[in-house]
Amino acid sequence: MQKAKNLNLKIVGNGKETLLLGNGFGTDQSAWDKILPSLTTDYKVILFDLVGSGKTDPKLYSPIRYSSLFAYAEDLIELISETQSGPITYVSHSVSGMIGLLASNRRPELFKKLVFIGASPRYLNDKDYIGGFTQEALNQLYAAMETNFFGWTAGFAPIVMENKNNPDLAHSFESTLREIRPDIALSVAKTIFQSDHRQDLPHCKHEVLIIQSASDIAVPVEVGKYLEKNLSNGRYVQIQSEGHFPHISAPELVIKAMEGFI
C-alpha cells in the first residue's frame, strides 16, 4: 500500500461500486467536498492527491519523472491495483482527465467508465484546433509564476474560478494554490500546458462523460466538443456554470449531469 500512502489515500462510503476522484492543478482532494455527500450514500469513494499537491510529501516530486502526464498515469494504475479488485469509475477534473485516459488506455481492465470535468487534451491553440492559449500567453504565465508566485496566485485564482458574485470561491482556490511549493507549481504547470494528448483519444474504448462549463477561460467549449468527436464513446454535456471548477461552484449541476451515467 506504499503508493496509496504516498498519495494521501482516503476511502469513504460503503457502496458496492467504486468511484475514484482525481483533482486538477492547484487543488487537492478537498475540491470534491461539495459533491462528496451525494456520492457516499451509494458508492465507495476513493480520494487522493496528485504528487506535488495537497498533503503529499514534496520530496516525492521529481521534475524529471513528472515531466509528462504518463508518470501520473503510472501512479494512478499503482493506486488502483493496490486498493481495488474490480474496475472503477474514474471521476476527474482538468488535468486528471488526461491522466485517467492514459491510465485506462494502458490498463483498460482497471476502469469501468470515465467522467471528465473541464478536461483538455491540449491547451495550446493549433491549426484547426482551439485549445484556449497561445504560446506567448503561456510564457507570460510562467514568467509571472517565477517572478512573484504569490502575487500570481492572487490574480490567477479569480480569473479561472470566475463567479465574481462569490469571491470566497476564488479565495479558497488561491489558498490551495499557495500550499504548493512554487518551483513545483511552475514545473507542473509547464508539464500540463505544454502537453498534447490528442493522439491518445482514439485509443480509449471506455464510455466517457464530458462535462463542460458554459464559460471556462482555461478550457473553452470547443475543447469539450473536440473530445466528444474524437472519443469513440464520448458524450458531451454542457452545464450552465461559469469557471473552470463547476464541481466547486455549481456542484448540483455536476451531480445532475452524472446521474444516469455513473
In a structure prediction context, what are the per-residue pLDDT tens digits for the chain, which is 262 residues long?
566 678 889 999 988 899 999 999 999 999 999 999 999 999 999 999 999 998 899 999 999 999 999 999 999 999 999 988 779 999 999 999 999 999 999 999 999 999 999 999 999 999 999 999 999 999 999 999 999 999 999 999 999 999 999 999 999 999 999 999 999 999 999 999 999 999 999 999 999 999 999 999 999 999 999 999 999 999 999 999 999 999 999 999 999 999 989 8
Is residue 49 part of the annotated active site? The answer reads: no
Burial label for 164, CB within 10 Å (0-12, 13-18, 19+), is exposed
| Distance from C-alpha of 110 to C-alpha of 240, rounded to nearest angstrom | 32
Instruction: Name the catalytic one among 94, 104, 213, 241.
Output: 94
* Alpha-carbon separation of residue 216 from 36, 83, 190, 224, 260 (angstroms): 23, 34, 20, 11, 25
- pLDDT score, position 14: 85
- pLDDT score, position 210: 98
What pTM did the predictor assign? Answer: 0.96
Instruction: Name the catalytic one among 28, 49, 75, 216.
Output: 216
- pLDDT score, position 6: 83
| Distance from C-alpha of 99 to C-alpha of 135, rounded to nearest angstrom | 22
Is residue 53 part of the annotated active site? The answer reads: no
- pLDDT score, position 86: 78
| Distance from C-alpha of 13 to C-alpha of 66, rounded to nearest angstrom | 31
Instruction: Name the catalytic one among 75, 244, 247, 249.
Output: 244
Domains identified in the chain and CATH numbers: 2-258 (3.40.50.1820)
Is residue 244 part of the annotated active site? The answer reads: yes
